[in-house]
Structure 1
Amino acid sequence: MKAKTLRAIHRDLGYLYVGLIISFAFSGILMNHRESWHPDKYVIEAKAIEVSLPKNKHSIDDAYVEKLAASLNVDDKLKRHMFRKGELRMSFENTEISIDAKTGKGEVISFIKTPLISQTMTLHKNTSNWWIYYSDIFGISLIVIAITGMLMITHGKYTFKKRGWKLAVAGVVVPVLFLLCFV
């Protein structure tokens, strides 16, 4: 393929996906830090609670959780509940409840979705079929953008053959080292 054609493909795909590239990059940075803070929501109220949980944690089902939430004045749609690190954790659309399984002490946290940030982060988490296919096309396009970027400069000291391959290798070495050392 000629350099002019590669440039055109690279340019047009870049223009087509510039908004999505920025959105994914922005939300990806936020998601990297979601264990430290919740960028997609902010707390409007947190209150301490103390309840008596059943000794048998297998008896804690959706019906029990919904009844418990109602007794705590939580009128919200249940998403899921689980035991994690000795706590009963209940997630609702706009509320989270955590209760220590031994002491019964816990907290009810009410929050509101952060405008724009929450919607942007949904792009990374969305699992609807059409979005998955669109994201797959986007991923393939990013591969094409990378390859055309490597091949479109054919003359001079900054070509892929003369200089670019060294940077590309460095770009691959860092994630490989991370995988080998930390995963």
Structure 2
Amino acid sequence: MKKQKNIRAIHRDFGYFYLGLIISFAASGVLMNHRDSWHPEKYTVETKAIQTELLPEEQITEKYAENLAKEMGVDDKFRRSNVKKGMLKISFENTDVEIDIESGKGEIVSFKKTPLISQAMKLHKNTSNWWIYYSDIFGLSLITIAVTGALMISAGKHTFKRRGWKLALAGIVFPILFLLLLA
């Protein structure tokens, strides 16, 4: 009988601890699935208006666009450039440059990674459509299972209200510390 009580206690305490971990991974997974809609990994740090003279549209090359942005003070890793609907768009890792070809007016927008969210989202990068929908359902289900499971034990000294919340909090803090220390 004592052995069964020990097993139940271990199961209960690990369940409380992993409650925080499940919620952390599930929430960051749902955020990650919709990264193309609202870019949760980046937030705007600075937007700067610019004015410049450009070559005619047919003479604009990737190298020209990259050098132009560097001349304007963009010190970032170049990704790509394109001309679309009269706008020159130059994309860097953490900076976007957009310039109207006719007027030469534009802006430089610098981004910075969103703390914790950008690191947690690295754990969930997968772009197939079926996986996105499946993992949305799975993530929301994990949150529901974790919360309802934690609240099932309603009497005694080992309830969520008395003790479990501390272990759940430790389960949330653990991945945050892991990401901060190793990211």
TM-score by length of 2: 0.51
Cα separation, 2, equivalents of 1:74 and 1:80: 14
Change beyond 3 A, Cα 1:98–1:122:
farther
Q: What does residue 22 of structure 1 align with?
A: 27
Cα separation, 2, equivalents of 1:113 and 1:100: 27
Residue 102 of structure 1 aligns to a residue in which SS? coil
1:60 aligns with 2:60: yes
Residue 74 of structure 1 aligns to a residue in which SS? coil
Residue 75 of structure 2 aligns to a residue in which SS? coil
1:41 deviates by 1.3
Cα separation, 2, equivalents of 1:87 and 1:33: 22
Q: What does residue 94 of structure 2 align with?
A: 94
The one-letter amino acid paired with 1:108 is I
Change beyond 3 A, Cα 1:93–1:67:
same
Residue 79 of structure 1 aligns to a residue in which SS? strand
**What are the superposed Cα offsets for residues 77-127 of structure 1, whole Å, 9 maximum, x if unpaired?**
101111233211111112110001221100011121112222344455458
The one-letter amino acid paired with 1:55 is P
- Long gaps (5+) in structure 2: 1-17, 142-183
Change beyond 3 A, Cα 1:94–1:32:
closer
The correspondence of residues 30-179 of structure 1 with structure 2, limited to 5 A, is 31=35, 33-34=37-38, 38-57=39-58, 59-123=59-123, 125=125
Identity over aligned pairs, percent: 44
Q: What does residue 158 of structure 1 align with?
A: none
Change beyond 3 A, Cα 1:102–1:75:
same
Change beyond 3 A, Cα 1:85–1:56:
closer
Aligned residues: 119
1:49 deviates by 0.6
**Could you list the runs of 4 or more consecutive aligned residues of structure 1 that deviate by over 6 angstroms after TM superposition?**
none
Contact 2:43–2:112 under 8 Å retained in 1 = yes
TM-score by length of 1: 0.51
Cα separation, 2, equivalents of 1:83 and 1:124: 32
Q: What does residue 168 of structure 1 align with?
A: none
**What are the superposed Cα offsets for residues 62-83 of structure 1, whole Å, 9 maximum, x if unpaired?**
2111210121011111011112
Question: Relative contact order (alpha carbons < 8 A, sep ≥ 6): 1 or 2 greater?
Answer: 2
Residue 89 of structure 2 aligns to a residue in which SS? strand
Change beyond 3 A, Cα 1:80–1:121:
farther
Cα separation, 2, equivalents of 1:27 and 1:102: 37
Change beyond 3 A, Cα 1:49–1:32:
closer
The one-letter amino acid paired with 2:91 is S
